[in-house]
Structure 1
Amino acid sequence: MFQPKSTHVCTIGEESSGSFLPPLTPTSPLSFRCKRFLKKLILITEVNPQSIEYFRKISAIQDARRKQIVSGSWVIHPFSTFRLYYEMWMSFIFFICLVYMPMEASFKNMLPTNLNGLDSFLCTVCLVDVLMNFRTGYCANNEKIVMKPSSIAKHYVFGIYFVPDVLSSIPEMHQLNLFVNEEIAEVLDYFAMLKIVRILTFIQYTKRMFAFFNVKAFAFLMIKIGLMAFLITHYVACCLYFLPILFRHVKHNEFTRHNANPQSRSLARFINFYLNNSYSATSLVLGVEIEFNYKSPWITYIFCIIIYVIGKFLSTYVTVILVDVLRVYNCLETKFYEMMSQVDSFMTAHQFPLVLQKKLQDYYHYKYRGRYVNESRIEKFISEKLRKEIKYHDCRRLVNSVNIFEHLPQEILEDILSYLKQEIYLASDVIIKAGTVGDGMYFLSSGTVAVSSPSGKEICHLVDGDYFGEIALLVPKQKRIANIIALETCQVYKLERKSFKKVMDANKDLYRQILDQAKLRHSDTKEIERMFIKKFEEP
């Protein structure tokens, strides 16, 4: 039987490659291949998660890519493949800069001289990043993508990042063999502290990298809080040592850092000073205490007060975030227990017997498994097609266990399953009572039921994948011929009479299978009942 394809395979030919660039030929020169490869890297792509987040559909991304090619511009699209991997690379660079540059500006007279190579490397990469920002488009207020070079340059130069980026990326003058005034050289070293303005950019790049690798939002939130706490504490620790040096520089015109005694450059000495300042910085950030040292200049006290206030806000913010995360994480359990509290109040108000109370509690525990979900609210805004697919997935255990469903195409199964209604029966519940008018048939998804004749003779047990109750729907004026009792908690799906008729009218093969099974069951039940009654009538 024909099975529909689970995925769509497009058979409409494209007039060019997926990138809309001129196709390669076996005779294409190397220069053309390289140029095409570089052009493809800077085009907007579906691979970049920001593209889908911004445009929300593939056709819009393809249209933007086509316009970018037609323009002939070599400006890098902010949602391109190159930008995706470049931001991953810069997230690592920014992290190293945010750790090393404040430390180098503050503890320069203690750090070993063999770290000068790292300083030159970071400054070079950051200067290249400045140039890259002049050639990369940007998203203006989440409304449009700006790709015009003059607008990009204006946006960057007059923004908050250009001046700090340039000043913090200037390498040390003596490494470039440039003999400048000692005062100017030391002031240029101080500018490395400005790299802190890129902490939000680092967090943003890290978030995009995690989104690309499908890292869960909760994991990113925990990592984000940890990184922010570390970098802020690290920066404050560096500032606590840096500010007195800056004060002496401004007030007393002292320049001692470049001419520091080589013996003072000790790793142990640096670790000792850094840990002491880190301890004080942690106290400030957490808002625990301020240790006064009356030998410190006034600017240190002002800085400590500011950080103390900011630390109070940060600790409160982190606390609120963590409480909110825990609340969201446990909200389903909380809602379940709120619902159960209402159920208990309802049972108490109506003075239900203990047996009934126990059954009602067992019902809700089985149905929700300790996590309340408002299914009707979730399904309210989804399409009918998607609702059918969800129903098919939800009933996959039933579909796999019911033999009459084995050879039905998925589309037909989705139609049938859309009519099914889930019901839960507890142990000893009577699902069907013999002699009553049948209003539907049942498919047993999980659990065990007992089938007995009207007189009480047990006929058989039905388990997962079995169905029952179809006889009363197939035979005109036929009432229920057997009792169906749950032996344990059972999950069944009910197909009502009117829905049964719609399904059977559209699926004649299925109707014949159920009819044959119903006739066999009807005759077997009648025969067992006749023999059971005859046994008791015999003298």
Structure 2
Amino acid sequence: MKRKKHYTTLQLGSSSLKPEGSGLWSVLCKACLISERHPATYQNFRSYPTVIAERQRHLTEGGLYVVHPFSCFSLVWDSVMAVVNVAHMIVSSLRLCYVLHPKGRPRIHAIDHVLFSLHLLCLIDVAVRFNIGYLEGKANVILRRPLIACHYLQSWFVVDLISSLPISYGLILNESEDMRLIMICHIMANIKAVRICKEINNIVTFLKISRLPYIYYGIVRNVILFLMVAHWCSCFIYIAPVLYFYWTGTMVQNYNSFLNSTDLKSYTITERYRRGIYISLSAFMGTGYSLNRVFEPLEVLIHAMLILVATLFMIYTLVHLLTLYFTKYHSVIRYHELMNQLEEYMRHKQFPAQLKKRVCAFYYYNFQGNYFREDLALNTLSEQLRNEIILHTCHKLLDKVELFNGLPASVVGSVLGCLRAEVYLPNDLVLRAGDIGDCMYFIANGSVAVYSLKGVEVCHLEDGAYFGEVALLMKDSKRVATVVAVEITQVYRLDAEDFRQFIMSNPVLYERIEAFASQRMHETVLLDEAFRRKREQLQERTLDLDKMDLK
């Protein structure tokens, strides 16, 4: 059943508390307030009235010059700055480990211009951070500017400021010859690497707008982290000769034996980076040391640390991948565990082969290779959601059963809400003639054979048919037919109490089902009568043949 969106008709004015107007300033002010579009809003504020109350508190405590952490502005700004900071981490490490100046003649490189632009953006971010609130605990957002400033100063301010100052760019631009100071400034820019996890979380938060399954966020997080760690490892390979060059102005000898020459300046940045990333990926795959034999103690130490980092990261990745796998295929694994337990149980009880086959067929049809507890899942839902799920799962049955044609949705929903699913294997007895009837059945999938009291096969019933209603309409409540499953058949059972409450109390339904039951009874009686006459004729022929034999 399709749900309709609610549109209010009450003339109460705007309750969103957003600034009115369509100018740039008004749009910016609206973007700074808490928004329902932020993925974390309804994780901390469970209803729209609480969002409105938070918006009112924002205007009272912080005013329009403070940005709410769950606002559209904060979401976009954090996402953009996450990309900028990741780019800053990549470029700053490239600048430190791959760009080498001739001795005493430092000059501006193309990477310096890119890094300077990133420095400026990061400095702007430092200023903006003093105006963005933060979450303390659960659903407790701090919006007072003094508290925001104090919190930022105690957390990321020092790291952000030190790593964002373009001091090295100014020194090189002023033709400073102090290589050691330039090296220290380049190292300061790389301090931002400690923010990598926070920036990845900001990227994942932005991706949550698409409402993808959890597994995709984990994949994105690990892919970004893997690329960054591989890049840093490729830079770390050259860190010892680079630092030695900055400190002494000369290139260390007998280092980088994996290159044809130990003089790093004789290779382009692309050649060195390609070789460095190759060695890093080799370390991740467990072949690093065997492919690149090194002999210098410092170089051995660098490669050992590289292999250690790569091994730890691959262990972390493997654990995460296993977690994702078990999360995604948990129901399949539980199904196979259940089937293994069932096999052991049947082996212990010495089930015959035919019975084993029937039990396995029942479980496979019932679970389709995925084990789940339907009762536990449904019990956590509201009654409205449970009814919608029942209507959805029974919609094919609803289309097939002519009994429900033209009836109000409320009546049909009441009946469907009382149905209980059952599965019968081939040759299973569903009903026996002469038994007391306490329910009727609707066929969802499969087919059954109907036999009269005298054992005459009356008909086959298939998808959408129903049976067992005759006994519920008769005073003695006795079954007038035997029903046997022809193939694996899924039926929905309606108990006698629910039958009397929802079907017999509805005139249209009662009239339809009574007419159909009368027709079935008439056809069954005719078939039984024809079978009786045929049997009497056969008996008479047998007697005549016996008399002729006697004569």
Tell me the TM-score normalized by structure 2: 0.85
Range with greater deviation from structure 2 (267-276 or 173-182): 173-182
Q: Deviations over 1:399-453 (max 9, x none)?
A: 2221222333444333322221111011222212222221110011111122232
Structure 2, unpaired ranges of 5+: 102-106, 253-262, 541-551
Q: Distance in 2 between matches of 1:428 and 1:119?
A: 77
TM-fit CA distance, 1:48 = 0.7
Match of 1:9 in 2: 6
Match of 1:55 in 2: 45
Match of 1:419 in 2: 418
Q: SS of 2:100's equivalent?
A: coil
Match of 1:187 in 2: 184
Q: Distance in 2 between matches of 1:136 and 1:241?
A: 39
Q: Distance in 1 between matches of 2:70 and 2:161?
A: 25
Match of 1:240 in 2: 237
Q: Distance in 1 between matches of 2:369 and 2:112?
A: 59
Verify the 8 A CA contact 2:29 2:64 in the aligned structure 1.
no
Match of 1:259 in 2: none
Q: Distance in 2 between matches of 1:128 and 1:241?
A: 32
TM-fit CA distance, 1:295 = 5.0
Closer/same/farther in 2, CA of residues 267 and 65 from structure 1, 3 Å limit: farther
TM-fit CA distance, 1:8 = 5.0
Alignment partner for residue 201 of structure 1, among 198, 203, 211?
Answer: 198
Q: Are 2:67 and 1:76 aligned?
A: yes
Q: Deviations over 1:87-136 (max 9, x none)?
A: 33223323322322211222122899344432232222222211221111
Closer/same/farther in 2, CA of residues 13 and 179 from structure 1, 3 Å limit: farther
Match of 2:436 in 1: 437
Verify the 8 A CA contact 2:438 2:472 in the aligned structure 1.
yes
One-letter identity of the residue aligned with 1:165: D
Q: Distance in 2 between matches of 1:305 and 1:343?
A: 50
Match of 1:281 in 2: 280
One-letter identity of the residue aligned with 1:76: V
Q: Distance in 1 between matches of 2:165 and 2:415?
A: 70
Match of 1:215 in 2: 212
Match of 1:526 in 2: 525
Closer/same/farther in 2, CA of residues 509 and 302 from structure 1, 3 Å limit: same
Q: SS of 2:40's equivalent?
A: helix
Q: SS of 1:49's equivalent?
A: coil
Verify the 8 A CA contact 2:95 2:112 in the aligned structure 1.
no
Q: Are 2:330 and 1:331 aligned?
A: yes
Q: Which has the larger radius of gyration?
A: 2
Range with greater deviation from structure 2 (83-92 or 167-176): 167-176
Q: Distance in 2 between matches of 1:174 and 1:333?
A: 61
TM-fit CA distance, 1:456 = 2.9
Verify the 8 A CA contact 1:173 1:180 in the aligned structure 2.
no
Q: Distance in 2 between matches of 1:249 and 1:175?
A: 14
Match of 2:23 in 1: 33
Verify the 8 A CA contact 2:96 2:183 in the aligned structure 1.
no
Closer/same/farther in 2, CA of residues 254 and 54 from structure 1, 3 Å limit: farther
Verify the 8 A CA contact 2:450 2:481 in the aligned structure 1.
yes
Match of 1:135 in 2: 131
One-letter identity of the residue aligned with 2:379: K
Closer/same/farther in 2, CA of residues 302 and 57 from structure 1, 3 Å limit: farther
Q: Distance in 2 between matches of 1:109 and 1:9?
A: 65
TM-fit CA distance, 1:492 = 0.1
Closer/same/farther in 2, CA of residues 411 and 132 from structure 1, 3 Å limit: farther
Verify the 8 A CA contact 1:182 1:255 in the aligned structure 2.
no
Identity of aligned residues (%): 27
TM-fit CA distance, 1:60 = 1.5
Verify the 8 A CA contact 2:99 2:269 in the aligned structure 1.
no
Match of 2:88 in 1: 97
Closer/same/farther in 2, CA of residues 326 and 177 from structure 1, 3 Å limit: closer
Q: Deviations over 1:289-316 (max 9, x none)?
A: 65675557x5x66665555444443222
Verify the 8 A CA contact 1:134 1:156 in the aligned structure 2.
yes
Q: Distance in 1 between matches of 2:348 and 2:303?
A: 60
Closer/same/farther in 2, CA of residues 310 and 56 from structure 1, 3 Å limit: farther
Match of 2:57 in 1: 67
Match of 2:447 in 1: 448
Q: SS of 1:461's equivalent?
A: strand
Verify the 8 A CA contact 1:112 1:266 in the aligned structure 2.
no
Closer/same/farther in 2, CA of residues 343 and 281 from structure 1, 3 Å limit: closer
Match of 1:168 in 2: 163
One-letter identity of the residue aligned with 1:437: I
Verify the 8 A CA contact 2:19 2:30 in the aligned structure 1.
no
Match of 2:468 in 1: 469
Closer/same/farther in 2, CA of residues 463 and 310 from structure 1, 3 Å limit: same
One-letter identity of the residue aligned with 1:236: C
Verify the 8 A CA contact 2:126 2:157 in the aligned structure 1.
yes
Match of 2:317 in 1: 318
Q: Distance in 2 between matches of 1:305 and 1:45?
A: 49
Q: Distance in 2 between matches of 1:131 and 1:455?
A: 92
Q: Distance in 2 between matches of 1:14 and 1:163?
A: 51
Verify the 8 A CA contact 1:43 1:80 in the aligned structure 2.
yes
Q: SS of 1:109's equivalent?
A: coil
One-letter identity of the residue aligned with 1:493: Y
Verify the 8 A CA contact 1:449 1:486 in the aligned structure 2.
yes
Q: Distance in 1 between matches of 2:408 and 2:81?
A: 50
Q: Distance in 1 between matches of 2:175 and 2:271?
A: 33
RMSD value, Cα: 3.0
Match of 1:157 in 2: 153
Kindly report which structure 2 residues correspond to 1:279-428, keeping only aligned pairs within 5 A, or say none.
279-282=278-281, 293=294, 298=298, 306-428=305-427
Match of 1:85 in 2: 76
Q: Deviations over 1:372-408 (max 9, x none)?
A: 1122222333333332222222222212221222333
Tell me the TM-score normalized by structure 1: 0.87
Q: Distance in 2 between matches of 1:244 and 1:361?
A: 67
Closer/same/farther in 2, CA of residues 195 and 305 from structure 1, 3 Å limit: same
Q: Distance in 2 between matches of 1:164 and 1:522?
A: 87
Range with greater deviation from structure 2 (98-107 or 382-391): 382-391
Q: Deviations over 1:328-369 (max 9, x none)?
A: 333322222222223233333333332222211111111011
